[in-house]
Structure 1
Amino acid sequence: MKFYVVICCFFLMGFAQVQGQELTRILFILDASNSMNANWGGQTRIEAAKELLVKTVDSLNGSANLQIALRVYGHQSPITATYQDCNDTKLEVPFGPDNFTRVKNKIKTILAKGTTPIARSLEAAASDFPDTNARNIIILITDGLEACDNDPCVIAKKLHDKGVKVTPFVIGLGLDLSYLEQFKCIGSYSEAETKEAFSNVLKSVISKAIINTTVQINLNNINKVPNETDVTMFLYKAGTKDLVYTFVHTLNRQGSPDTLTMDPNFKYDLVVNTIPKVYKNNISIIKNTHNIIPVDCPQGYIRLRFTNATSPYQVLSRIYQKNEQLTLNTQSVGTTDKYIVGTYEVEILTLPRIYQTVEVTQSTTQTIDLAAPGQFSYSATKAIAAQLFVIRENGNPEWVCNLEQSSTKGLIFLQPGNYRVVYRQKQLRSTTYTTEKNFKIQSNKTTSINL
């Protein structure tokens, strides 16, 4: 089964401001094989690809130090049940200083009809670039895998061995994304399943190609390995509250931090929204290079669970750092959450309260096991003033809660243990009417007391 690997366009702004950079050449390789006639989002794939590619070329027109060219495959010889033309690849518009209109007009005339000779197109592309004295980039626009007898990985290696500076960008839109692994030997790729996602991805691809300034944020574990991920990052203009970028940190299919495009004309303050937050301020981005920003974010897990619950009890806990009272997180019992390596105090909002100190270590889970609560059901003939105490192992009573004075009955969830309720009917105005009753609470059971 084929999947879409299609590049779409984005209305790009501001790319003319690249004076002083070396010449960049972008070769668009467009798939015009028969499978591109399949429907996608109310259009055929070829119609969508052509529409978006034309807009991309329009938006690039006028960019300084930029030349483009167009190679197409699968558009000359129709594929049949018995024949496919694996040599059907052609440089339709070569590189030139002002050929944007030619490329755009040619794209509009392309019809999809043939096979998918990706490897031969890449091999031929080596001769499409006039020389190696520029940043030579290929953007491959295809909806399928190699259909002929050559191996794109072998061809990609030959390109590099010849000293041709080619960086293929392949954007996957689609069905079985496991097929994308076969493109990683060629170059970078991204995934997009909607037209809007296409636009966002191509914006990033073109930015990397033209601006030539990229950023990789390494969220390092305790061993300085950048494998922490899946957390939101805010980037502000340094020293201000002006939010410039919001990213959910991602590891790509190779397990490395994803490459970002950021404006190098600012310094940034970074906030990583771990628990607790991690800050890195006054970050500089160096132009025309790949920047790596290391941030120490070693994390482990805290898990809270009932060991013997027969019902889904809803209990929260409060997590805060040792020697500090600021609440970092409210975590439900029955869940696992991630924390920066360190020592934490956990206040579990049961009755009575349970307090634990937890040492979170790298990539490990610290589990707090709790006995399931039971229920204390009480009723009285008249309003009462009453307080509830737990009897600790040393025999001392410890206050748990006050009973509601405006009601003559109630139901309270309590942790297993021995308890005492001390009460007096409110209408009786003498202390001598104070009464005590002891009772025991067991997990998942109800204890009823008549006051």
Structure 2
Amino acid sequence: MISVMKRFFWILVLSYVQVVLSVAQPVTRILFIFDSSYSMQARWESGSRMDVAKRLLGELIDSLAQVKEARVEIALRLYGHSKGYPPQDCNDTRLVVPFGPDNHQRIKRVVQSLKPMGTTPIAIALERSVEDFPPCELCRNLIVLITDGIEECGGDPCQVSEQLQAKGIVIKPFVIGIGLDEMQRRAMECVGRYYDAGREEDFRRVLGLVISQALERTTFQLNLLDADQYPRESDVAFTVMDQKSSKIHYRMMHTLNSLGMPDTLSGDPLVTYRVVVHSIPQVELRDVQLSSAKHNILALPLQRGKLKVKTAKVIGYKDLKVVLRSEEGAILNLQDINTEARILAGTYRLEVLTHPPYFTDIDIKAGEVTTVEVPVAGMLSFQTVASGYASVVDENGQRVLDLDEQATRHLIPLQPGRYSIVYRPKAARDLFFSVTRDFEIISGATTVVKLN
């Protein structure tokens, strides 16, 4: 008994640890992709674009080194940094400082040593950034692209960015454009969240804004509203996922705490979520964007009633299944006879897998129990001298079922009603050896059908 209790205790402990890990604060990994192309030597207020960018990025890295309350790692990828222009080298991009907890000064030293040299292979830099993020289950991967130009190597940065997001490798990138004109800005807006830095002060402000957004977390709760628009529905599984990549953030059983309120979950303001509640039928919220400035309340109508399908006796069946279909015919649920299920309010088609199937249309009302009583089956007893082919047809001429062609004794449950059985021995090779018998099935009774 003690060993059983210990085992149960550790199961509870491990379950708790799994829940804690699932909501633990992730590591935020920020990859800076920095433009060191030839055009960065252009004049920009107090110096060249490169000089200003190096100085302000250095200030930002110093600030990040002081962030202790958040788990943050940074890395640096360059492009256009090692090959002169002309000629054009579209492979001129490299991860120069990988992710690490204390690499801030190393990144600063690399940035301060840069000289504008090459071309602008933005698509290739983004594509190769896949390799810059080591596998990590609990990480938020962000890219901050700093550029003073647009793609010059024929690639499609927008398509690459879309692929990175769809695969769940990164959250939608930040793009900081230094002195881009209107046409260039439009070309870069599809790559990620675009911020324009037309002046030095704009660049400083935008850098701060981007990092602030990158480090922000928020909270939310999921309210499931009943017919009175109160959040009293619960005890149903739900999934919260990244709408772009389908990466699952939470998969839990919705619960109301001791105060009758849904639990609070941690969320990411940078992610667009899709919330799926696994009710019958499922319902969902799409395009969910959390605000970082407040606790977010997500409300989803979940007006449910109960469906109870029963029969006084299950005669002749090992088990009896009930199929719930939408009005269009899609299967929504499969349940056993004499059980209850919570169903969204609405109109449905019910099918009980008796012989023949029992059909009825039902209307589920919120907060009410809808009961469907299926007539008790009767039994068909049919015996032949030799094995053969036999089918049961109802009084409307619809086939009900075929009997086992290897057997000579048959005991089949059927719904009450009038039927015919058509039989021909296997050995007989003439249709005139077919025999037909009409019979009636009565609830709870056995009907014996003889051939003579």
The CA deviation at 1:332 is 1.4
Map of 1:365 onto structure 2 = 369
**Preserved contact between residue 305 and residue 368 of structure 1 (Cα < 8 Å):** yes
Q: Residue 270 of structure 1 is aligned with which of 255, 272, 275? A: 275
**Preserved contact between residue 343 and residue 359 of structure 1 (Cα < 8 Å):** yes
Map of 2:383 onto structure 1 = 379
**Preserved contact between residue 281 and residue 344 of structure 2 (Cα < 8 Å):** yes
Does residue 295 (structure 1) correspond to residue 300 (structure 2)? The answer is yes
* Separation in 2, partners of 1:311, 1:435: 25
The CA deviation at 1:308 is 4.8
* Separation in 2, partners of 1:254, 1:398: 57
In the alignment, residue 246 of structure 2 is paired with which amino acid? K
* Separation in 2, partners of 1:377, 1:338: 38
* Separation in 1, partners of 2:261, 2:342: 20
In the alignment, residue 294 of structure 1 is paired with which amino acid? A
* Separation in 1, partners of 2:428, 2:405: 14
The Cα offsets for residues 193-247 of structure 1, whole Å up to 9 and x where unpaired, read as xxxxxxxxxxxxxxxxx98832111111233211111111111112221111112
- Going from structure 1 to structure 2, the CA distance change for 1:368 and 1:402 (only over 3 Å counts) comes to same
Map of 1:254 onto structure 2 = 259
Q: Which has the higher helix share?
A: 2
* Separation in 2, partners of 1:386, 1:450: 13
* Separation in 1, partners of 2:410, 2:316: 19
Structure 1: which 5+ residue stretches go unaligned?
1-7, 18-60, 65-209
Higher relative contact order, structure no. (Cα contacts within 8 Å, ≥ 6 residues apart) = 1
In the alignment, residue 250 of structure 1 is paired with which amino acid? T
Map of 2:238 onto structure 1 = 233
* 1:27-426 alignment runs, 5 A limit: 62-63=68-69, 213-308=218-313, 314-322=319-327, 324-391=328-395, 396-426=396-426
The CA deviation at 1:248 is 1.1
Greater CA deviation, 335-344 or 377-386? Answer: 377-386
In the alignment, residue 423 of structure 1 is paired with which amino acid? Y
The Cα offsets for residues 316-339 of structure 1, whole Å up to 9 and x where unpaired, read as 1221111x2221111211111111
User: Percentage identity across aligned positions?
Assistant: 28
In the alignment, residue 389 of structure 1 is paired with which amino acid? V
In the alignment, residue 364 of structure 2 is paired with which amino acid? V
The CA deviation at 1:294 is 0.8
**Preserved contact between residue 220 and residue 298 of structure 1 (Cα < 8 Å):** yes
* 1:294 counterpart SS class: strand
**Preserved contact between residue 317 and residue 413 of structure 2 (Cα < 8 Å):** no
* 1:375 counterpart SS class: strand
**Preserved contact between residue 301 and residue 360 of structure 1 (Cα < 8 Å):** yes
- Going from structure 1 to structure 2, the CA distance change for 1:312 and 1:429 (only over 3 Å counts) comes to closer
* 1:275 counterpart SS class: coil
* Separation in 1, partners of 2:281, 2:336: 17
**Preserved contact between residue 300 and residue 365 of structure 1 (Cα < 8 Å):** yes
* 2:291 counterpart SS class: coil
- Going from structure 1 to structure 2, the CA distance change for 1:16 and 1:448 (only over 3 Å counts) comes to closer
The Cα offsets for residues 242-270 of structure 1, whole Å up to 9 and x where unpaired, read as 11111211111222222222233322111
CA RMSD of aligned residues (A): 3.0
* 2:372 counterpart SS class: strand
* 2:432 counterpart SS class: helix
* Separation in 1, partners of 2:350, 2:315: 24
- Going from structure 1 to structure 2, the CA distance change for 1:426 and 1:312 (only over 3 Å counts) comes to closer
Q: For this pair of structures, how many residues does the alignment match? A: 252
